[in-house]
């Protein structure tokens, strides 16, 4: 790894979603959005449902929808651990919009319904951002 790069791993509960060298990562935590560059101070934060942007050292942008989880930064290594994570290019935008409508109209447990709505919104934002 060249100097001033970050080693990034984006991990869902069931698999490694993305791994590689990056120049910058942006994620949403309970305190708000955080941007991470090489040399960032060690950090442990709680993620909220949202989008993670990864700028690779080659200049590409990878976008992923993630659910709540953890973000750890230590020594230019970033670990993003989420129960659910999906790369934007794997998301069917129309299907995600339909899931959002179903989640909004579903009855039942309010906390669970809010979780489904937040996940669907994150998937839509990730898919739209990648266009």
Residue 3 to residue 96: CA distance in whole angstroms: 39
According to DSSP, residue 20 is labeled E
Whether residues 15 and 28 share a domain: the answer is yes
Whether residues 79 and 112 share a domain: the answer is no
What are the per-10-residue average pLDDT scores of the chain (131 residues)?
82 96 97 96 96 96 96 97 95 93 80 86 91 68
Residue 68 to residue 83: CA distance in whole angstroms: 7
Contacts of 103 (CB under 8 A, 6+ apart): 113, 116, 117, 119, 120
What residues make up the domain containing 116? 92-129
Predicted confidence at residue 97, as pLDDT, reads 94
- How many structural domains comprise the chain? 2
Whether residues 83 and 96 share a domain: the answer is no
Residue 72 to residue 78: CA distance in whole angstroms: 6
Predicted confidence at residue 108, as pLDDT, reads 67
Residue 1 lies in a domain: no
Predicted confidence at residue 3, as pLDDT, reads 66
Predicted confidence at residue 112, as pLDDT, reads 80
């Amino acid at each position: 790894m060249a100097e001033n790069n970050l080693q990034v791993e984006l991990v869902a509960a069931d698999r490694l979603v993305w791994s590689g060298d990056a120049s910058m990562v942006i994620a949403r935590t309970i305190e708000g959005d955080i941007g991470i560059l090489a040399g960032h101070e060690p950090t442990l934060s709680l993620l909220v449902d949202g989008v993670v942007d990864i700028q690779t050292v080659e200049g590409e942008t990878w976008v992923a929808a993630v659910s709540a989880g953890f973000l750890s930064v230590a020594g230019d290594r970033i670990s993003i651990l989420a129960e659910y994570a999906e790369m934007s290019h794997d998301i069917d935008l129309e299907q995600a919009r339909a899931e959002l409508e179903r989640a909004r109209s579903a009855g039942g447990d309010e906390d669970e319904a809010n979780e489904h709505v937040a996940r669907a919104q994150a998937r839509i934002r990730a898919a739209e951002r990648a266009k």
